[in-house]
Amino acid sequence: MEHSTKRKIVVIMGSTGAGKSRLSMDLASRFFKNSEIINCDKMQVYSGLDITTNKITMQEQFDVPHHLLGAIDPSKSEFTPSDFRKVASEIISDIKSRRGLPLVVGGSSSLIYSLVTKRYDQKTDVFNGPNLCPISTEFRYDCCFIWVDVSLPVLNNYLSKRVDEMLDAGMFDELMDYFRSKKHGNRVDATEAFRAVMAAESRGGRVAEMWEKQVVEPSVKIVKHFLDE
């Protein structure tokens, strides 16, 4: 089998709430301990609103290096896909120089595309606009793509529970502080309404077992096979 000379990276994608961060931490902390995580969520790259944007906490990071997580000051300028391509490429080069494995984690397609495509035109938006442009399929990295897929009804059910937890953690107060200098806000407590959406509570042990068997184990096999190619 012919080996690629391109640098290997793992890209973990999926919808909001699908478990991308959890899977990346399972892989990095338990199986591929030379891994470093590069955030590619276009909201989480900015500092502030940690609860609202659901950033992984320092405690949850288990000493796994994280890059571009809350690193950009939103008051300075917009962090564009072109900016991400430049900065993330430099981070990947640094990780590779230390024989590490970059895990690019997030659901922002525009950022992922800007990073992995060989030919990138910042003036062309391949995802939005009335006239969609052709997407380049030539990559500048040897990429292992993992899409964490969850059926929509199950995902919606989980997201309702997560929003409930975020409200309990102080999301409303966080947003009030953020917008206080711009406009007045009025609080409407929707906590009980969100709780009512949840028809049943998940059983923790069973959920953990299913996550391990259906998500973590197949992902480990995929990455190991990719690294051995």
In the chain, the percentage of residues whose pLDDT exceeds 70 is: 82
Q: Where are the domains of the chain?
A: 8-149+204-228, 151-198
For the chain, the straight-line distance linking the first and the last C-alpha, in angstroms and rounded, comes to 8
Q: What is the pTM of this model?
A: 0.79
pLDDT per position as a tens digit, 192-204? 444 444 434 444 4
Q: Which two tokens stand for residue 102?
A: 């970059």
| Structure confidence at residue 122 (pLDDT) | 80
The candidate with the shortest Cα–Cα distance to 32, out of 60, 64, 66, 5, is: 64
Q: Which CATH number fits domain 8-149+204-228: 3.30.1280.10, 3.40.1360.10, 3.30.450.20, 3.40.50.300?
A: 3.40.50.300
Q: Which two tokens stand for residue 153?
A: 């009804």
pLDDT per position as a tens digit, 36-95? 999 999 999 999 988 888 899 998 998 999 999 999 998 888 999 999 999 999 999 999
> What crossing angle do the helices spanning 152-168 and 171-179 adopt, rounded to 10°?
70
Residue 169 has pLDDT above 60, yes or no: yes
Q: For residue 229, what are the CA distances in angstroms to 9, 98, 144?
A: 13, 20, 11
